[in-house]
Structure 1
Amino acid sequence: MKWIKTYRMFLIVSFVWMIIFFTNNKTGLNALTITGNSIVDMLLLLPPILILVGLLDTWVPKETILKFVGKDSGFRGPMIALLLGGVAAGPLYVAFPIAAILLEKGALLRNVVFFLGVWSVAKLPIVIYESASLGLVFTIIHVSFGLLFYYVAGIFMEKTSYKEVTINQNMSV
């Protein structure tokens, strides 16, 4: 019975999919195809990212991370987070292993949250596409408010949740 608790979300989604499939065959098959394609995309993208994260963990010393995004980074920390998140490629789930390594090596939580926010709101390819599709004014407003929100949220999380963030050493990234 423990496996039911462990896999309850998968079971719920599978049950909903079966209801959709038996209600409307075409929609159910379409949902299954989209899900399968997403899983294949993720499985093709994650191994190289995890290898790069492992290399980052091995090659970049803790002192370097502390210097650029750690406690004494000052204004440089958010700027590095902005640069790293802005030039990133790939979906947001690729950023989480990188964020875990940054936290493990002593980066400030506010800089890591800001990095994740930049990755989700202000990646260069997304900004270019958004400005061409929705207009420059909308893009400037959207990105500005997004960046401000993520930076303030990072500060808030740091002040209220953690004194110092550490990743459990037994947890594999």
Structure 2
Amino acid sequence: MKTAIKKYWFLFVMVLCNLIIWTYDPEIGKTALAFSGKNFINFRFILTPVFICIGLMDVWVEREKMIRIMGANSGVKGITVAILSGTITAVPIYVLLPVAGVLLKKGCRISNVVLFLCTSASIRIPLLLFEISSLGISFTLMRFCLNLFAVFAIAFIIEGLLSDKDRKEIYGNAEKL
């Protein structure tokens, strides 16, 4: 029981908060519980297919092939693949973290993984289309160029700041996944 509490302490705190709200104001408690339930169901429906795809990627894609595509010596090809794969994602950001873990496990360069994450968060195609329709093409192009510059800066600064010990630790933690 103690290990379950340690592992899921945040869930227990949230359930306790919902119960306190429910006892204080049952109407708000009912709304909060319904909202929590909808979010949990949404979370499960999104994560299940993503984890299946991640498992298939982990099994089907060979490490050597992934190292050639996005590894340390992949150069422009790895950067291009990271950015393109990041722009076509249309999932919540919390789903991208397991994908990043598998990419690291497969030997992808850290800057390419950061490029993938940052592009997925800020330069998605659906987001660009929405911006074009509501804010105009000139604003969208300016934001796209500035974001692209920021994404490159973030990725290569992070990789440059990491020591060899840090890199080994990151790749070692990814291997445990």
Gap change, CA 1:149 and 1:34, over 3 Å in 2? farther
- Range with bigger deviation, 43-52 or 13-22: 13-22
Structure 2 residue aligned with 1:30:
31
Q: Please report how far the alpha carbon of residue 149 of structure 1 lies from its aligned counterpart in structure 2 after TM superposition.
A: 2.1
Residues 110-169 of structure 1, C-alpha deviation per residue, up to 9 Å, x if partnerless?
110110111111111121112212333332333333332232222122122343341437
Distance in 1 of aligned mates of 2:126 and 2:104:
26
Distance in 1 of aligned mates of 2:174 and 2:19:
40
Structure 1: which 5+ residue stretches go unaligned? none
Structure 2 residue aligned with 1:157:
158
Alpha carbons 2:101, 2:174 under 8 Å: kept: no
**1:46 aligned onto 2:47:** yes
SS at match of 2:173: coil
Gap change, CA 1:143 and 1:10, over 3 Å in 2? farther
Task: Name the count of aligned residue pairs.
Answer: 172
Alpha carbons 2:104, 2:174 under 8 Å: kept: no
% same residue:
29
Structure 1 residue aligned with 2:72:
71
1:88 corresponds to which letter in structure 2? Answer: T
1:137 corresponds to which letter in structure 2? Answer: S
Distance in 1 of aligned mates of 2:161 and 2:4:
35
Structure 1 residue aligned with 2:106:
105
Structure 2 residue aligned with 1:166:
171
Q: Please report how far the alpha carbon of residue 10 of structure 1 lies from its aligned counterpart in structure 2 after TM superposition.
A: 3.2
1:140 corresponds to which letter in structure 2? Answer: L
Gap change, CA 1:149 and 1:50, over 3 Å in 2? same
Structure 1 residue aligned with 2:88:
87
Alpha carbons 2:102, 2:174 under 8 Å: kept: no
**1:10 aligned onto 2:15:** no
**1:143 aligned onto 2:150:** no
2:126 corresponds to which letter in structure 1? Answer: P
Residues 10-63 of structure 1, C-alpha deviation per residue, up to 9 Å, x if partnerless?
344445445555565554433332222121112112222112111111221112
Structure 2: which 5+ residue stretches go unaligned? none
TM-score normalised per structure 2:
0.80
Residues 63-109 of structure 1, C-alpha deviation per residue, up to 9 Å, x if partnerless?
22111211111112221011111112221222222211110111111
Distance in 1 of aligned mates of 2:83 and 2:68:
16
SS at match of 1:106: coil
Pairwise CA RMSD? 2.5
